[in-house]
A and B are shown apart, each in its own frame.
Chain A
Amino acid sequence: MNLKGFFVAALSSALEQGMATCDDLVRHVTPEVLATHLPRPLWARLLTACLGASRVDAQLVVETIGIPNLCEHVPTPIMWACLEEIGVRSIGGTYVPKTSTASLVTAPPTPGKPAVPPIPPKPPKTPAAPLSITAPPEVNPPSVAATQPSPIVGAPEIPSPNDMANLFNEEDRPTGPANRTRTTTSQRFRASSTGIGRLANSSRRPQASAQATPPEDPAQGTGRTRRAATESEYEVVTNVSGSNDDWKSALAVEDEQLVDWANSEETVTGSNSSPDDPRKR
């Protein structure tokens, strides 16, 4: 249980949303409380800020110290009293300051009796009791029922291997919610990983994952030749810009070579020397 983290989040949110002001904080976290519980380095920071500021107010104090530092060093009963006032006021009620909180301001520093302050949290426990009373009757019966029938359900699941095919079919079938969630999660990861996934979200990935590519590879040999052609086009464009006459004289030779080179794409790497030698010759 992280009370300080809870106070930091609650008070920060209350300040951000205008439910509370820094004056509300300083009303509980008085200079006396700060002088007693705040570490000296933070006091030095506070004095520096105050001396350099044109105006000293609660906002300056709270902003200089920071909510996390306040919640870290100020006793939790004091922070709770502040949060309680904010909460009661936001609901529309009237906050009645407890005399015990004032005593807590002085009590925590000298004696180690902060155990007494936790008593105020007990009032929230009383409303929590009826809630827990309502909840258990719902939770317990199903839990007990779930434990008892679980072996019963497990027994039919063991012979179910005969029905495994049905189970797989059922999984493949509609059972909508599970499938929907799976598709959404997969798309999120893919989309967040790279922008390439945008193009290959639906069409390309099924093709690759379906493993139909091996049979499609021989059939799609033409597609590979097209890709090679595009690559060669880029190279030709750049080279033509350099010198046109040389390329005109060499086009006839390179056309023949391009035909042979395209037909033997996969062997180009292995037989680079054999086709290159006739070209050079």
Chain B
Amino acid sequence: MVESGLEHQIFGPGDVLAHATPDVLANHLPPELLSKILAASLKTGSMTPEHVLETVTPQLLAQHLPHEVLWACIVAAAARAGVTAPVNS
């Protein structure tokens, strides 16, 4: 779902990292991934959500992060798109 949402631009990498905060990433990602993120950032000279998601793919996110976090990201994107609006009746 996360990968599909990114592909179809339902939400972007910034939206993902708005929920998968640095605190969440630091507490749930394995050291290898943290090392890759930092190494890639030092190599490119910047750390952007796009770069982070290039290293930590949606599959890895789903593998290591709590699913509540990813689901909250999807729900927020749906709310922004107005998908959940008519449900209020």
Q: Which A residues form the contact surface with B (CB < 8 A)?
A: 26, 30-32, 34-36, 40-41, 43-48, 50-51, 53-58, 61
Contact = CB atoms under 8 A, between A and B. Distances in A.
A94 B50 CA distance: 40
A9 B27 CA distance: 30
A47 B25 contact: yes
A57 B47 contact: no
18 contacts: A31-B37, A32-B31, A35-B31, A35-B32, A43-B22, A43-B26, A44-B22, A44-B23, A44-B27, A46-B26, A46-B38, A47-B25, A47-B47, A51-B52, A55-B45, A56-B41, A56-B46, A61-B42
Nearest to B47: A50
- Overall SS of chain B's interface: helix
Interface residues of B, number: 24
Contacts of A57: 42, 45
A31 B38 contact: yes
Residue among A45, A50, A53, A57 with the highest chain B CB neighbour number at 10 A:
A50
Closest 9 CB pairs of A and B: A47-B22, A35-B31, A35-B35, A43-B26, A44-B26, A50-B47, A31-B38, A31-B35, A44-B23
Given A31-B36, A47-B25, 4 more contacts: A35-B35, A35-B38, A47-B37, A48-B22
A139 B51 CA distance: 64
Interface string B7-38: 00000000001000111011100011011111
Nearest to B23: A44
Contact of B42 (A31, A36, A48, A51): A31
A251 B35 CA distance: 92
Interface string B68-86: 0000000000000000000
Contacts of B34: 31, 34-35, 43
Contacts of B21: 44
B57 to A, nearest CB: 17
Contacts of B25: 44, 47
B1 interface: no
B5 interface: no
B60 interface: no
Residue among A34, A35, A46, A54 with the highest chain B CB neighbour number at 10 A:
A35
Residue among B37, B39, B42 with the highest chain A CB neighbour number at 10 A:
B42
A51 B32 contact: no
B26 A41 contact: yes
A41 B24 CA distance: 10
